[in-house]
Structure formats: structure tokens, C-alpha cells
Structure 1
Amino acid sequence: MHIARLALDHYRSWEHCVLDLEPGVTVLLGANGLGKTNLVEAIEVVATGVSHRTSTLAPLIARGASSATIRVNVAGETGQDDASATTYEVTLNARGANRGRINGGPSRYMRDIVGRIACVTFAPEDQRLVAGDPASRRMLLNQAGVLLAPEYATLLQECTHIAKQRSALLKQLAHSGDVADDPGRELSLQGLEIWTGQFIEAGVALTRLRAAIVERLREPFSRIYADLAGRGERAELQYAPSFDEVLLLDAPEAELSRHFQRLYPGEVARGQNLIGPQRDDMDVLLNGMPAREYASNGEMWTLALALKMAIDETVGEERGVTPIVILDDVFAQLDDSRRGQIMEFARERGQVLITAASVGDIPRTISGGDDALRIIDVGRLAEEQAAMHDPAEMARHFAEQLDTERL
């Protein structure tokens, strides 16, 4: 599987862009601020539905635009010959739901598109997977989930929607005060019971699916970390769900409902959901201890690399494809040892997209040195794309075409 073409409209810094890509190693080279990371981020968004750089998709829409569109042509999918390609299109809307299309077909929800392209991104932000807050680890779980479970994206969106509706109702109750004979408050409490029931049903399903995904990643993660770190180091993953009763007690929904009822006063007082999948975490242990507290900076990097490599391996084995690998400005952050480890890994991939500020940031060990690299000057690409879409330049090009036809 590889990306053959990427096309953007009103995406971050790119008003328009068309970029042809090939299998093998491609380096997107340019100074900071030219938009090289925006290019690979767009591929990540189509593949997984999220960006490693932001918690929401709204910042991806260019300033002043009402929407942004990403199109990717993907070749080499399972059961597909090399000459054919599938076009995946995602439109991000400032207002309303994000949409998607396959091969220009009918419009669908974006959740029906994500997960179809196998893609794993390595970025400087990966260190937060170990030392950062739980949100970064939930994002990793969500990315792994959409790549490994077809139903994951729909279930996640459903659970997120219900959580927002329930949270809004809790805020409403918090502002209404505690007036016993207020009919509006009584209706709100009845509505809270309904939303709680839906929240439990969707949340339990998502919790169990996440637990299964962590279980599938556990063995490859431990094995890969041991290979990378050596010295008999032992790393483990443990899922830490907010709905821990689901896994520890296999509790029926009635029991979870009673648990929520005990939490109602605190939830209303704070105006927010106190438990649920939006508060899940994943513990990373090193030699039996919490890595976020005991691991060194170098060990955290190695743990993060092992996590991403474990997702790559699991997706490859379960889906029968070699995921596309994105290395977004990682080499400036890594020492020589870890540079070598990640390049040894990348050398075996079918398509590797690297962003870098200078050629010197790229280890020469990748696929035999600079001769094996396809280097794209992002500054020049930006100039070419701007000229291509400049009205005066387009008019001149059209006039030249007419003159040629007359001859």
C-alpha cells in the first residue's frame, strides 16, 4: 500500500496543492513554517481521523475558509493490482459534520472513510505518550482502534456525542439550582436518566473494544521494547478504563446505572461527566513501575517507539498490508542510537515519508544513502502551487494553449 497522489484545498497553509508520491523513501525538505508537516498530517487525518498535532480538526481548515478537502490516491491495497488506485476524499467543515467519499461516490460520514489506509506516524510529540496526560494515550488508542477494528470509529463517535449531550444536561442542572418543585428540573433529571442509559451502553462497548486492542498490542510492545532496549528490560501495557467495573466485575448495566446514580450529586455540582471512556488511560510500565514516574528521557523515547512499532506490526499482520510510515521531524529529537533503530525499522517499509529541515538531519544509513532518497523541496513546491493557481498565470497558460492549437 502506498500514497500515489495527495491533493489539498484550503488545508492549513496550503490553499491548493497536488503532490505525486512514489513507493520507497521520500523526504519533504524545507525550513520550518513552509508547510511540510501539513502535508503528512493530511495523510494521517484521512487514515486515522485525528492529527498528532491538535486535539480537534477545526484548526486544519485554512483561515477564512469554510471547509478543507483532502484527497489521496492509494495504490497497492489488498486485492488491488499496482495499476489501479482508490481515491479517498475527506472534507472538513467549519460548521456541520465532516464528510467523505470513495472514488467520487456518494457522500458519507468521515467515520466511514478513516481506518481504510494503514498509516503509522512517528513525531516529536510521541514522548508525551509516556510522560504526558491521559489524552495523548487515548488518542493513540483511538488511532490504533480505527486501524484494527472496523466498528471503532462509529462507536467512538457515538460515545463522544452522548457524552457531550449528557455533559450539557449536567451543566443545565448545575445552573438551575436545587428547587424540589421545579418541573423543568424534574424533566431534566428524567432526561439525565435516559442519556445515562445510552452512555452506559455505548461506553461499555467502547471500553471492551479498547481492552481487546490493548491486549493485542501487549505482546508485540513488550517484545519490541526488549529488542530495542536490551539489558533484560521489561515493559508492559495495562488498560486503565474509567469504567473499571466493566472489566473487573463484568458488571451488568443495572449495577453501572446504580453507580452513576451515586455520582449524580457530584456530576451536577461540577457540571461534567465524572466517569466514562473520555477519562480512560493506558498505563505504561517499565520493570513493573509506572514509566511516567521512573523512566529516563531516553527510556521514554524508546517506549514510545516501541508503542508505534507494535501498532505497525499488529496492523500489518491482521490486515495483510504494510502500513505507510510517516517520520515527522523526529531525527532532530533522537540520539544516534535511536536514529539507527527507527531507520532500521523504516528500511523494511513499502513507503516512508520523512519531513526534515535539512538533509543533514536524515541518517545516511536509510536504504543505502542519499542516492536512494527522493527529495522534494517544499519551498519550491509551494511556489509552483501558488503560480499554478494564480489567476494571471492561469490566464497566460490558457492563452498559450490557444496559440498552440491555432498553429
Structure 2
Amino acid sequence: MIYISRLALDYFRSWRHIVLDFEPGITLLQGANGLGKTNIVEALEVLSTGSSHRTSNMLPLVRRGENKATVRANVREMDVRGGSDMVSGKDAGSETNGDVVTYEVSIATKGANRGRIDNGPSLYMRDIVGRVPLVSFTPDDQRLVSADPSERRAFLDQAGTMLIPGYADCLHDFMQIARQRVALLKQLGERDGDLDLRQASLSGLEVWTGQFIDKGVELTRYRQTIVDEISPDFSDLYGALSTDGRGQEQDGDDFEERRVSGVRSSGGADEGISTSHAEGAGLGREHQPEHSAELRYVPSFEEVLSSELPQPEISRHFQRLYPGEVARGRNLIGPHRDDMEFSLEGYPAREYASNGETWTLALALKMSLYRAISRRRGEKPIVVLDDVFAQLDETRRGKILDFAAQQDQVFVTVAAVSDIPDMGRLRRHAVPCKVIKVADLQVFDTGDADSRGGVDAVDASNHDEGVA
């Protein structure tokens, strides 16, 4: 397994400087809102995927008044042989710690974002992302179902960086080509009276359009591969998550009423989600409810799905759209307009799903990504649970905790340790669990939290492991 043993932040969001040491198992980041606990797990997400679910613009990640933010993490690989429990640390065989690798990403207010491995030469950030697999569960996950397509494209891009080597390069190249093409379209819209400049721009547009199509087809096929891989698990997981502990379906009658009456969901009171079997593994079709869920990729270049050589047909679309693109100064088709569609019994979930169903769909999506990463990489990704307990009732919080207890390393943000419904669950699983009080960076075992409220604390920034 791999785990993050140390994290150092400089000028990241609210943090000026912070160094934290971690171990396998569960780490609770505890503190009131506004103290920066979510910023810590956001830094892990940026290190893993090169992006944040909280913003599409990287500039807010840099502390106000500074010109650069840096995230550095020591990542350790632990090889436990003889069938021992890697999460609990029980010694059932020989244990070998692999080399520690230090990954670093820097977000700049001006210029390119950079990366570095083991204090080596400066690299592009896209050369770093995807090396530390991570799946985060957050209150914003509902937006993956209900919000604009840009949210779902961002999910696909994060998934791609962890599942497909070369995805980050492909995405970067496509976006760069798209910007060049937009610049030419705007020039053509401004040069009606200059024939020479217009002809030069037209010639340039033809070249960039060809590159736009080729790179767009490559990106579309990558995204289709991602959806093809996660969609079977997604359907199975939704079936398991939408049944209660007795195998009874939740929210099914409510959906049937809305479907028959044609009434679309307004996202009312949170009905919650059942995670009865939500360990992220062993969730089979026997739990499939009557109202099944499906996931479908909806590419702008739809010809990619039906043709091995779609470029000529896509090129004809651009010829037809040329006047509109020049008038608007925009690329009217391409992967930047892709979507991913959730459906319940064939009906669009974005329009018909209740609040509880939306939560279940989003959770199934993230767990299907977790499965895909585990399957492709042969190791469990790091899991982040960012303020998710506040969104669920006590029973369902406990089921999420059971899922967390089976992972190699989990980061959980909570306002108070009491937000965790049953700490005894962790003890039954024999999972190591530490609490970091974000207000003063004190660290203590959950047993200390239960009995003494955090006495015998240790300063998290004074451990002896170095960060390059």
C-alpha cells in the first residue's frame, strides 16, 4: 500500500506554513469552520489530480498577498507480506517500508504551475498529477448530478489523470489548441476589411482546426474509456446503496410517483442514502433495485462512438458552423462541451431525482471511481471524507464509517469528534485512528479524545521525518 507520511504547505489558502505527519489508518482533522481543515484535504486533492473540486481557477489556492503556494508530500510505500492486515498494522508476516518519494507542486499567480519529484529538476505540474491516487467524498458531490456539465467534465478529467497515463498531457494540449483557435476566430471577426490579414487568419484556422479535431478525438476516446470502465460498477453500487439493511428499496415509490405524474424533483428535504453494503467491494447485482441507474457519456464529437475515423465528418461540422463561430468568437463543438448523463429507469436524474437519490447517485459514482483505481493500479487509493457526516443521519454515518475502516489511509474532516457516530466501530475493526486539532495542531489518539478530551497532545510539526 501507499500512504502519505508527511504533508507540508506553504502559502496554501489560509495556511502560511504547516507541516503534518500522518500514519496509515484514519486521521480526523477536527476544528470549527474557518480554521482550514478543508484546505488541508484540498491540498491533497491538488497534489493527486492537479485540480480542486472547489474551484476551476487555481489562483484562489494561493494565500492572499503571496505569489506562490506550494504543496509537498512524502509518500511511503509499505509492503506487508504473509497476509497481514495493512490497515490495522497487525504483524502477520514480514513488513518492509519502501523508499519515501517526495512530490511537490507549486501554484503560481503568474506563469506556469510546476512540479518536482525528490527535489529533482522542475517539471510541469501535469508530470506530477496522478501519481498519488485519491478519491474524495464531499458535500459538493451532489453537484455532479444536478449542476452544469462542467462539473461532470471536471470529474472525468480528475479520473483520467489517475486512470490513464497521458491523459493530463492530452487535456493540456487540447486546451492550448482550443485557446489558439478561439484567438483566430476573434481575429477573423475583427478583420472584415483587411483581405490579406483575413486570408492569413483563415489559413491558420484551417491548421488549428485540424489539430483541434485530432486532439479532441483522442480526448473523447479517453473519456469514453473512463465511462465504460466505471459504468457497470456504478449501476451495481447504486443498486446496493439504494437498499436498506433488509434489502428494501429506498426512495423508489417517491420516484415512481414523480415519473407517472411528470413532476420533476425540486430537491426537497434530504432523505439520506443507505450505504448498507458500501464497502466499495463485494457490491453485487443481487442488490439491484427495481429502479436501476445508468451512466452514459454524451460527447460533443458523437461520431467518435460510431466511427474509427470520425475526423472527416467532424470537419464537415466545422465548415457548417464557421459563420456562427466567427460571430461568437467561440469553439461551438468539441470535448469542452461534453457531458455525462445519469438516468433512473431511463429518465434523466438531473430532472427527476430526489435529494436522497441524488446523494446515492453521487456516492455510487465516487465509489465506482474508487473501484476502477483499485483495479487498475493494484492498490487502494487514499480516501478523503470532507464534512460528509453532517449531511447524513446517524445510521448512515455509521455505514460510511464502516467503508472508511476498510481503507489503507483515510482523512476525515469534522467540526467535533462527536460528529463521528460510533467510535466503537473503528475499535472493532482495529483501525488506527488519530485526531489532529486544527486550531493548535495537537495530535492524540481517539481513546484520549474519549477519556481526556485531547490531553497528552503532540505538536504535529515537530516530528523527525524530513520533507525535501
Whether TM exceeds 0.5 here: the answer is yes
Q: Which residue of 2 aligns with 1:392?
A: none
Q: Which residue of 2 aligns with 1:405?
A: none
Q: Does 1:211 align with 2:224?
A: yes
Q: Does 1:368 align with 2:427?
A: yes
Whole-angstrom distance in 2 between the partners of 1:143 and 1:343: 24
Q: Which residue of 2 aligns with 1:381?
A: 441
CA offsets 1:181-237 (integer angstroms, 9 cap, x no match): 521122111111111111001000000110011000011111111111133131111
Q: Which residue of 2 aligns with 1:141?
A: 156
**CA distance 1:222–1:371, shift in 2 (3 Å):** closer
What stretches of structure 2 of length at least 5 have no aligned partner? 81-94, 244-248, 250-288, 443-456, 463-468
Cα RMSD over matched residues?
2.2
SS at match of 2:441: helix
Q: Which residue of 2 aligns with 1:268?
A: 326
1:219-298 alignment, distance < 5 Å? 219-230=232-243, 231=249, 232=289, 233-298=291-356
CA offsets 1:101-134 (integer angstroms, 9 cap, x no match): 1111111111111001010000111000101110
Whole-angstrom distance in 1 between the partners of 2:125 and 2:79: 21
Asked if 2 retains the 8 angstrom alpha-carbon contact of 1:78 and 1:321, the reply is no
Whole-angstrom distance in 1 between the partners of 2:60 and 2:110: 13
Greater helix share, structure number: 1
Asked if 2 retains the 8 angstrom alpha-carbon contact of 1:122 and 1:328, the reply is yes
Deviation at 1:165, TM superposition (A): 1.4
CA offsets 1:44-88 (integer angstroms, 9 cap, x no match): 101011101001211111112111111001112689942531110
Of 94, 98, 111, the match for 2:113: 98
Of 341, 355, 359, the match for 2:417: 359
* Count of aligned pairs between the two proteins: 384
Asked if 1 retains the 8 angstrom alpha-carbon contact of 2:4 and 2:75, the reply is yes
SS at match of 2:239: helix
Of 82, 85, 92, the match for 2:97: 82
1:5-404 alignment, distance < 5 Å? 5-76=6-77, 81-82=96-97, 84-176=99-191, 178-179=192-193, 182-230=195-243, 231=249, 232=289, 233-364=291-422, 366-368=425-427, 373-381=433-441
Deviation at 1:373, TM superposition (A): 3.0
Deviation at 1:38, TM superposition (A): 0.7
**CA distance 1:173–1:380, shift in 2 (3 Å):** same
SS at match of 2:42: helix
Whole-angstrom distance in 2 between the partners of 1:343 and 1:162: 44
CA offsets 1:296-351 (integer angstroms, 9 cap, x no match): 10000011001000111110111011110001111111233542332222111011
Whole-angstrom distance in 2 between the partners of 1:362 and 1:163: 46
**Which segment is superposed worse, 329-338 or 293-302?**
329-338
SS at match of 1:380: coil
Asked if 2 retains the 8 angstrom alpha-carbon contact of 1:78 and 1:320, the reply is no
Give 1:159's aligned amino acid. F
Whole-angstrom distance in 1 between the partners of 2:132 and 2:422: 29
Whole-angstrom distance in 2 between the partners of 1:138 and 1:309: 17
Whole-angstrom distance in 2 between the partners of 1:48 and 1:111: 9
Deviation at 1:371, TM superposition (A): 9.4
Deviation at 1:94, TM superposition (A): 1.3
Give 1:5's aligned amino acid. R
Whole-angstrom distance in 1 between the partners of 2:200 and 2:336: 26
TM-score, normalised relative to structure 1: 0.90
What stretches of structure 1 of length at least 5 have no aligned partner? 390-407
